Amino acid sequence: MTINGTPPRTIKSYVLRSGRLTPGQKNALKQYWPLYGIDFRQQRLELSELAGGFDALKLEIGIGNGDALISMAQNDQQTMYLGIEVHEAGVGRCLSNIHQQALSNVRLIRHDAIEVLQHMLLPRSLDRVFLFFPDPWHKKRHHKRRIVNAQFRDLLSMLLKPGACLHMATDWQEYAEHMAAEFLSDSRYLNTGDTRGYAQRPAYRPATRFENRGLKLGHGVWDLIFELKPDHEP
């Protein structure tokens, strides 16, 4: 559908901030993006461009400063980790840390995650997807911006390998309930947690600054892990 010849604006799950970059972040974007960055394109990535020589491909959506991504990659160097983030400051910091740690198993895409899922990833290519502490858009009028919705479930059902998992975490109870309801109602996914959809935090997920902030504010933290059923056909 178009309006006066122009496609309707897609509702985004984020708002771009125009914060200032530090000199170190600017330098990292200039020096290290050619080494560890992948430019967005409306064309599927061949796995050789991402995971050549690695046992698995795991994706984190919304890496923030990249602390969780770096930690997981350090402890799982047989896996290629792909991180998506729209904010330059976080990407710059993550690039700097990748280079300092000399990690060969991390790549970043600086673009809208939904468009990356739609256009860049091959079907049945992902061994795990992480969505840690996304913006909960807690005001009711903003719920339409939440990334966890029917479109998100549909995209992951095509990109995850059968038996692969989506791991979500949030420090907003109402958003945890929303996430759980979305996936508990979808017969393509298997709940690996309790009857409410909540799981114990796996050892591979580090505590993030967002999590620590939430705990200081008296919030709970909820992990949700849903597995794509092995018999699901895309």
Residues 210-226: tens digit of each pLDDT: 677 777 888 799 999 99
- Given this model, what pLDDT does residue 8 score? 45
Q: Which of 39, 135, 154, 186 is catalytic?
A: 135
Say how far apart CA 163 and CA 26 lie, in whole Å: 40
In this predicted structure, which of 3-12, 119-128, 143-152 has the lowest mean pLDDT? 3-12
- Given this model, what pLDDT does residue 6 score? 41
Query: Using one digit for the tens of pLDDT, what is the confidence trace for 22-73?
Result: 999 999 999 999 999 999 999 998 877 776 688 899 999 999 999 999 999 9
Residue 7 has pLDDT above 50, yes or no: no
| Of 107, 63, 118, 106, residue with least CA distance to 86 | 63
In this predicted structure, which of 69-73, 126-130, 191-195, 228-232 has the lowest mean pLDDT? 228-232
Query: What value does the mean pLDDT take over residues 94-120?
Result: 96
Residue 195 has pLDDT above 80, yes or no: yes
Query: Using one digit for the tens of pLDDT, what is the confidence trace for 148-181?
Result: 999 999 999 999 999 999 999 998 899 999 999 9
Better-predicted residue by pLDDT, 185 or 20: 185
Mean pLDDT of the chain: 88
Residue 3 has pLDDT above 70, yes or no: no
Known active-site residue 154: no
Q: Which residue ranges form the domains of the chain, and what is each CATH number?
A: 47-228 (3.40.50.150)
